[in-house]
Structure 1
Amino acid sequence: MAEKYDIVAATGCPTGIAHTFMAKEALEKAAAERGLTIKVETHGQVGVENELTAAEIAGARAVVVAADKDVHAERFAGKPMVSVGVSRAIAVESAGKLIDDALVAKADPSLAVAVESAEAAGEKESFGHQLYKHLMNGVSHMLVFVVAGGVLTALSFLWGITSFDSTAADYNSFAAMLKIIGGVAMGLMVPVLSAYIAESIGKRPALVPGFVAGMIAIQGLPVNATTGMIDAGGAGVGFGFLGGIVGGFLAGYVILLLEKVFAKLPANLNGLKAIFLYPLFSTLIVGLVMLAISGPMAAINTAMMDFLKGLSASGAIVLGLAIGCMCAVDMGGPVNKAAYVTGTAMLTEALAAGVGTETYNFGTNFMAAVSAACIVPPLITTFAVVVGKKYFSQEDHDAGIVNFILGCTHITEGAIPFMTKNIWPVMPIMMIGSSIASILSLMFGVHDPAPHGGFLVLPVVENAPMWVLAIAIGTVVGGILFVAFKKHEWTKAQKAAEAEVATAEVAAIEAEQASDEGFVKASNVFCGQTVENRDAALALISERAVEAGIAEDSAELYAAFLKREAEGTTGMVEGFAIPHAKSDTVKAAQVMVLKSSEGIASWETMDESPVICVIALLVPKSEAGTSHLQILSKVATALTDEAFRAAVKSTDDPAAIAKLINERLA
């Protein structure tokens, strides 16, 4: 029998490295805080882990989807659910809010998309977030091809810049094979991007037109150079990853259109639709459209590259500032990915152009700047938690140490928890550090032919020591600023804590003074006392009266108490007794209170319950007919009030008890 969970969840981010598992951990902690059971399915780069079964989904009370990629949410049809971007679930507090919202969300049987929050119950996921999720599904599948192909291509340069060229003096056959393999992997970048954007929209049938759209984006519209006519044997101008994005969305939505067009076909033709009609018509439509727009798309792609090169012409500071800010502003989010994908696209062109060309120099220099900007944020946190250790919690310190590894391997997301706690000014600090590293990488003429890997690819980086220096400078500057901020925050918190303690001390003194201003003083209320019997209680009160300066002779006062008890018990009901003594040893009329922790069983009471609270009246003999009777009357009246009795019995705070009795004696 399948185990039942209160909540089931699915998380996934474009890279499948950090956000995915940070969201999983936050959701699990938030569920534990609420006493709920949860199972979180992760969609990382290694595939689906901790996969949810149909029985587990059916048995869950609600569903949380925190993903920027397709996690097959149609499985959750009919379940109360929230669906948001993965960044909305990486903090425990926000993850808890998602769980709360999911538990009160309305189920959506059709599951077009689920609600984003309980307040928006019934509203569909925004179209903008849908587009972003489809795009990130493509990016997540593409990145592994970029990393594998780029690193293998870069490794081929270890034998020499032209070691793949059989006519060059530094030729090496193994290096040539690495270059070939890397080139094939890099060549699949755009088709995979396009195909998996399409797959996110139109599911499996959209893969075929998606791949075709991506290939056309690489090749462009072939034209015969002699005739100027469309010619399958001619050459075209590709329009890169931008064209792949357009082609992916086009292919996905064409499949959705065809599903509606063929919806009325008999059910026995479903197999024909999947294997013949969808691939044929979608490929035809998408192919024709992609070829038709190849000219304008190539122009747009060229204009974008020219714009970036134009920024370069404006100087390393302008270009580096743009790169640094984009890479650090959202720590692996859409803006960061836009900068990174642009860098990999330019690197692809650079590697295709060949070593020594202007395109190669610009593309690899640009890639070095992007990589540096992505490496710096997590390293800033490491520097800060080491240098300013006392200003950080132990949890933050441990996370900062781990970030050293993440930063060195080009994983920016490790800095996210630090930024989410204080978006301002941590985000600007990260942007400053990244921008410095990016600007210096450009100025130092660093060339990075690998799109990922961090310091693991240092052997193939040209001017590697200067690149490390650029990153170190950005890290130190950002780290110093971060420590300064945390020191200011810590100092402010310390002062606030000291002020709070001082205020509490003053309040306690004032409260004690206030309680001592009434007829019953807090200093004359004794709680948690253990006494054997009535006489021991009266003796204790007599002794404390002398200690407090209320009476002069404890033996005389004790005798006065016993004399009154001999006339008739002063035990009342529900554990209360009001003994009173009239004696010349008492200096001024006063009330003392004694609360027994175990009860005084030997004291005779009206309801035979043991005495818990003794309210003793001490009056000078000269006031026997005045103050004595007035006080006794008010205390006796108060004891007829059930609320008063309950309030006195419920607390052992002397000041609170004194206040309760003084209010009745006023």
Structure 2
Amino acid sequence: MKNLQIKKHMMTAISYLIPFVCTAGMLMVIGNIAGGTSVDDFTKQISFPDFLTSLGGTGLGFLPVIICAGVSYSIADKAGIAPGVILGLLCKDAGYGFLGGLVSGYLVGYFSVWLLKVVKVPKWVEGLLPQLILPLLGSLIIGALMKYIVGIPILMLTNAITGMLENMQTNMSMIIPFGIIVGVLSAVDYGGPINKVVYAFVCGLLSEGIGGPVAILMQASMIAPFGLTIGYFLSRILKRDIFSKEEVDNLKSAFIMGCCMITEGSYPIILNDLIRITICTGVGAGVGGAICAALNVTSSVPHGGLFALPGFNYPQYWMLALLVGSCVFAVLLQFLKRKPVEQDASEEKDIDLSDLKIS
């Protein structure tokens, strides 16, 4: 299993997916701000806001295609692109969704690699192997496998998950724990593998028209930079010396990047006290996730931070969840964080040219 590098291929595919999803989502936001609505028929005469909203919605519908082609390409290189796109389109149209695209990508990718090893052809046909033979066999065999065998339980599972999440919107006893779980898992590894898996999951739900989980993820991803910033000001009020001068300097860029939903600016501070700050992050993100879920906040955009506010159905509630979660983080920080040891930069001794002697 280790040689299959399953996680590596998923991470590669998600790196291709993120700009695609963000672009499509922002098109929808711009269209919605201008009063646009989704239109299915592009051949009709429609307004520009309607065009933007519809274009973004169409783009989000292609998530199974992107994830399938991305995984397949990561595994089989160029030979995986064509069957990946074709099988992704099958998943899109047959209702297998994001999960189906992910499974199809792995199947056709590994199948193409296996074919490349076992299929022997005359030298004069070798040029057709990656161009025609491998894509054709992969699309034909894995496509039939998805349609008649693998796709059936995937469709049942996708429908079950979608139905469960739709029911959660009205069942408070279920939605709050779900919000806590998504919030914690989205935040605790600061954009690492766990976050990427959750991101793939919520993007898949977004493509099915369920925007609650992605709203939870977005606030959870911003808890660390916002919580650290509020925690610094709270430490000044309480006269607690828990931040070094270097950390205070890093906070400036961390907060600005955090507004854009970029956690990396907080890394220098987080890594100084990883376990304690991660505890603060998990608790704060869980609280924020519970508030988001309880207030039924949804988003049509999977990224963008504060710049994506127009994409939320209740932006004020989302901001409330982010603020409360960050404040919980900041309060915990006062009790858990330890100030790192200051390292004084050693000053270089000035060289007096008169002391130099040439023998």
Range class of TM-score, shorter chain: 0.7 to 0.9
Deviation at 1:267, TM superposition (A): 3.2
2:349 is aligned to none
1:279 equivalent in alignment to 2:147: no
Using the TM superposition, name which of 238-247 and 280-289 deviates more.
Answer: 280-289
Partner SS state of residue 9, structure 2: helix
CA distance in 1, matches of 2:19, 2:331: 34
TM-score norm. by structure 2 comes to 0.84
For the 8 Å contact 1:145–1:188, the answer to whether it is kept is: no
* Partner AA of 1:333 in structure 2: G
CA distance in 1, matches of 2:145, 2:264: 38
User: Of 219, 233, 247, which residue of structure 2 is paired with 1:372?
Assistant: 219
The one-letter code of the counterpart of 2:3 is F
How many angstroms does 1:310 deviate by? 5.7
Give distance in 1, aligned partners of 2:328 and 2:32. 33
Matching of residue 453 in structure 1 with residue 300 in structure 2: no
Alignment check: 8 A CA contact 2:69 2:105 kept: yes
The yes-or-no answer on 1:330 pairing with 2:206 is: no
RMSD after superposition: 2.5
Rounded to whole Å, the distance in 2 between the matches of 1:289 and 1:448 is: 35
1:406 CA drift (Å): 2.0
1:415 deviates by 3.7
Residue equivalent to 1:184: 58
- TM-superposition CA deviations, 1:166-190 (whole Å, max 9, x none): 9xxxx97111110222123212222
The answer on whether the counterparts of 1:378 and 1:413 sit within 8 Å (CA) in structure 2 is: no
8 Å CA contact 1:308–1:319 kept in 2: the answer is no
The answer to whether 1:303 aligns with 2:160 is yes
- Find the aligned partners of 1:411 and 1:188 in 2 and give their Cα distance: 25
Is 1:149 aligned with 2:24?
yes
Distance 2:9 2:314 in 1: 38
| Separation in structure 1 between the aligned mates of residue 309 and residue 144 of structure 2, nearest angstrom | 44
Aligned pairs for 1:132-143 (under 5 A) are 132-143=7-18
Q: Distance in 2 between matches of 1:265 and 1:364?
A: 49
Is it true that 1:208 corresponds to 2:82 in the alignment? yes
Equivalent position to 2:103, from 246, 251, 255:
246
1:217 aligns with 2:91: yes
Give the letter aligned to residue 108 of structure 2.
Answer: A
Percent same amino acid at aligned positions?
29
Alpha-carbon separation, structure 2, partners of 1:448 and 1:182:
13
Q: Deviations over 1:524-566 (max 9, x none)?
A: xxxxxxxxxxxxxxxxxxxxxxxxxxxxxxxxxxxxxxxxxxx
The answer as to whether partners of 1:239 and 1:297 remain within 8 angstroms in 2 is: yes
| Post-superposition offset of 1:311 | 5.4
Seen in structure 2, the aligned counterparts of structure 1 residues 449 and 394 have a Cα distance that, compared at 3 Å, is: same
2:244 to 376, 390, 393: 393
Counterparts of 1:243-642 in structure 2, within 5 Å, are 243-262=100-119, 264-292=120-148, 293-309=150-166, 313=171, 314-350=173-209, 363-388=210-235, 390-486=241-337, 489-490=338-339
Distance 2:3 2:268 in 1: 28
Q: Which runs of 5 or more structure 2 residues have no equivalent in the other structure?
A: 343-359
Instruction: For 1:316 and 1:416, locate their aligned partners in 2 and report how far apart those are by CA, in whole Å.
Output: 31
Count of residues in Structure 1 that have an aligned counterpart in Structure 2: 331
Mapped partners of 1:173, 1:218: distance in 2? 27
Q: Aligned partners of 1:180 and 1:479: how far apart in 2?
A: 41
C-alpha separation in 1, matches of 2:33 and 2:135:
43
The structure with the largest alpha-carbon Rg is 1
Cα pair 2:37 2:54 within 8 Å, conserved: no
State the distance in 2 between where 1:409 and 1:478 align. 19
Distance 1:172 1:475, change over 3 A: farther
Change (3 A) 1:214 1:310: same
Long gaps (5+) in structure 1: 1-124, 221-237, 351-362, 495-666
- SS of alignment partner, residue 208 of structure 2: helix
1:460/1:275 CA distance change after superposition, 3 Å: closer
- Distance change >3 Å, CA 436–CA 276, structure 1 → 2: same
Maintained 8 Å contact 2:216/2:292: yes
CA distance in 1, matches of 2:159, 2:282: 28
Deviation of 1:152 (Å): 0.9
Q: Which has the higher contact order (CA 8 A, sep 6+)?
A: 2
2:328 and 2:212 map into 1 onto residues whose CA distance is 22
